[in-house]
Protein backbone atom coordinates (compact mmCIF):
# COMPACT_ATOMS: atom_id res chain seq x y z
CA UNK A 1 0.00 0.00 0.00
CA UNK A 2 1.34 3.39 -1.01
CA UNK A 3 0.09 6.71 0.16
CA UNK A 4 -1.33 9.05 -2.42
CA UNK A 5 1.06 11.88 -3.20
CA UNK A 6 -0.32 15.08 -4.64
CA UNK A 7 1.26 15.99 -7.96
CA UNK A 8 3.62 18.92 -7.81
CA UNK A 9 2.31 22.28 -9.04
CA UNK A 10 4.19 22.03 -12.35
CA UNK A 11 2.56 18.68 -13.14
CA UNK A 12 -0.90 20.02 -12.24
CA UNK A 13 -0.36 23.03 -14.51
CA UNK A 14 0.90 20.79 -17.31
CA UNK A 15 -2.14 18.53 -16.93
CA UNK A 16 -4.51 21.48 -17.32
CA UNK A 17 -2.58 22.88 -20.29
CA UNK A 18 -2.43 19.50 -22.06
CA UNK A 19 -6.17 19.06 -21.60
CA UNK A 20 -6.86 22.51 -23.04
CA UNK A 21 -4.41 21.92 -25.88
CA UNK A 22 -6.08 18.62 -26.84
CA UNK A 23 -9.47 20.35 -26.89
CA UNK A 24 -8.18 23.02 -29.28
CA UNK A 25 -6.45 20.45 -31.51
CA UNK A 26 -9.68 18.46 -31.87
CA UNK A 27 -11.57 21.64 -32.77
CA UNK A 28 -8.87 22.65 -35.25
CA UNK A 29 -9.07 19.30 -37.03
CA UNK A 30 -12.86 19.49 -37.09
CA UNK A 31 -12.84 22.92 -38.72
CA UNK A 32 -10.10 21.96 -41.18
CA UNK A 33 -12.19 18.96 -42.18
CA UNK A 34 -15.20 21.17 -42.78
CA UNK A 35 -13.13 23.42 -45.04
CA UNK A 36 -12.16 20.55 -47.31
CA UNK A 37 -15.25 18.34 -47.07
CA UNK A 38 -17.91 20.94 -47.79
CA UNK A 39 -16.20 22.67 -50.70
CA UNK A 40 -17.46 20.23 -53.32
CA UNK A 41 -21.16 20.28 -52.44
CA UNK A 42 -21.86 23.77 -51.08
CA UNK A 43 -22.93 26.75 -53.10
CA UNK A 44 -19.67 28.59 -53.96
CA UNK A 45 -20.78 31.88 -52.41
CA UNK A 46 -21.96 30.19 -49.20
CA UNK A 47 -18.73 28.22 -49.06
CA UNK A 48 -16.61 31.38 -49.42
CA UNK A 49 -18.45 33.03 -46.55
CA UNK A 50 -18.25 29.96 -44.33
CA UNK A 51 -14.62 29.43 -45.30
CA UNK A 52 -13.75 32.99 -44.27
CA UNK A 53 -15.38 32.48 -40.86
CA UNK A 54 -13.67 29.13 -40.35
CA UNK A 55 -10.29 30.55 -41.33
CA UNK A 56 -10.64 33.19 -38.61
CA UNK A 57 -11.45 30.46 -36.09
CA UNK A 58 -8.52 28.34 -37.29
CA UNK A 59 -6.13 31.27 -37.01
CA UNK A 60 -7.23 31.91 -33.42
CA UNK A 61 -7.02 28.22 -32.53
CA UNK A 62 -3.50 27.97 -33.97
CA UNK A 63 -2.45 31.01 -31.95
CA UNK A 64 -3.95 29.51 -28.78
CA UNK A 65 -2.20 26.18 -29.40
CA UNK A 66 1.14 27.95 -29.93
CA UNK A 67 0.64 29.95 -26.72
CA UNK A 68 -0.10 26.77 -24.78
CA UNK A 69 2.95 25.02 -26.27
CA UNK A 70 5.12 27.95 -25.21
CA UNK A 71 3.68 27.89 -21.68
CA UNK A 72 4.30 24.12 -21.47
CA UNK A 73 7.87 24.64 -22.67
CA UNK A 74 8.48 27.31 -20.01
CA UNK A 75 7.12 25.11 -17.22
CA UNK A 76 9.32 22.21 -18.30
CA UNK A 77 12.42 24.37 -18.70
CA UNK A 78 11.76 25.87 -15.26
CA UNK A 79 11.99 22.48 -13.55
CA UNK A 80 15.31 20.65 -13.77
CA UNK A 81 13.83 17.17 -13.26
CA UNK A 82 11.03 17.69 -15.78
CA UNK A 83 13.48 19.13 -18.28
CA UNK A 84 15.75 16.10 -17.94
CA UNK A 85 12.84 13.65 -18.32
CA UNK A 86 11.52 15.61 -21.30
CA UNK A 87 14.89 15.48 -23.07
CA UNK A 88 15.24 11.76 -22.40
CA UNK A 89 11.76 11.02 -23.71
CA UNK A 90 12.26 13.16 -26.83
CA UNK A 91 15.49 11.29 -27.58
CA UNK A 92 13.43 8.12 -28.19
CA UNK A 93 12.59 7.52 -31.86
CA UNK A 94 8.94 8.27 -32.50
CA UNK A 95 8.41 10.29 -29.32
CA UNK A 96 7.76 13.95 -30.00
CA UNK A 97 7.27 16.86 -27.67
CA UNK A 98 3.53 16.38 -27.25
CA UNK A 99 3.91 12.67 -26.45
CA UNK A 100 6.74 13.36 -24.02
CA UNK A 101 4.67 15.92 -22.13
CA UNK A 102 1.68 13.56 -22.07
CA UNK A 103 3.83 10.74 -20.62
CA UNK A 104 5.23 13.06 -17.95
CA UNK A 105 1.73 14.22 -17.01
CA UNK A 106 0.13 10.75 -17.01
CA UNK A 107 2.93 9.22 -14.92
CA UNK A 108 3.18 12.14 -12.49
CA UNK A 109 6.78 12.67 -13.67
CA UNK A 110 7.35 8.91 -13.22
CA UNK A 111 6.71 9.20 -9.47
CA UNK A 112 3.77 6.78 -9.75
CA UNK A 113 6.11 3.86 -10.55
CA UNK A 114 8.69 2.24 -8.32
CA UNK A 115 10.39 0.27 -11.09
CA UNK A 116 10.60 -0.03 -14.87
CA UNK A 117 8.52 -3.22 -14.97
CA UNK A 118 5.49 -1.43 -13.50
CA UNK A 119 5.85 1.36 -16.03
CA UNK A 120 6.04 -1.19 -18.87
CA UNK A 121 2.84 -2.84 -17.61
CA UNK A 122 1.17 0.58 -17.46
CA UNK A 123 2.07 1.26 -21.09
CA UNK A 124 1.30 -2.32 -22.24
CA UNK A 125 4.95 -2.92 -23.13
CA UNK A 126 6.09 -6.33 -22.00
Residue 2 lies in a domain: no
Residue 3 lies in a domain: no
Q: What are phi and psi of 24, to 5 degrees?
A: -65, -35
Residue 55 lies in a domain: yes
The answer to whether 71 touches 19, Cβ cutoff 8 Å, is: no
Q: What are phi and psi of 100, to 5 degrees?
A: -60, -45
Residue 1 lies in a domain: no
Q: What's the structural domain count of the chain?
A: 1
Prediction pTM value? 0.82
pLDDT (tens digit, 0 to 9) for every residue of the chain, 126 residues total? Answer: 555 555 589 999 999 999 999 999 999 999 999 988 888 888 999 999 999 999 999 999 999 999 999 999 999 999 999 999 999 999 999 999 999 999 999 999 988 888 888 888 887 765
Residue 39 lies in a domain: yes
Which pLDDT score is estimated for 114? 83
The answer to whether 73 touches 90, Cβ cutoff 8 Å, is: no
Residue 4 lies in a domain: no
Residues spanned by the domain of 56: 9-122
Residue 22 lies in a domain: yes
Q: What are phi and psi of 73, to 5 degrees?
A: -60, -40
Residue 96 lies in a domain: yes
The answer to whether 113 touches 119, Cβ cutoff 8 Å, is: yes
Amino acid sequence: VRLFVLPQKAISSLRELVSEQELYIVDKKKYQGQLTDEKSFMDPQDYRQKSARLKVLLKDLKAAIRAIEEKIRKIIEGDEKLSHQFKLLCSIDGVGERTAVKVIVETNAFRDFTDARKFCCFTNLQ
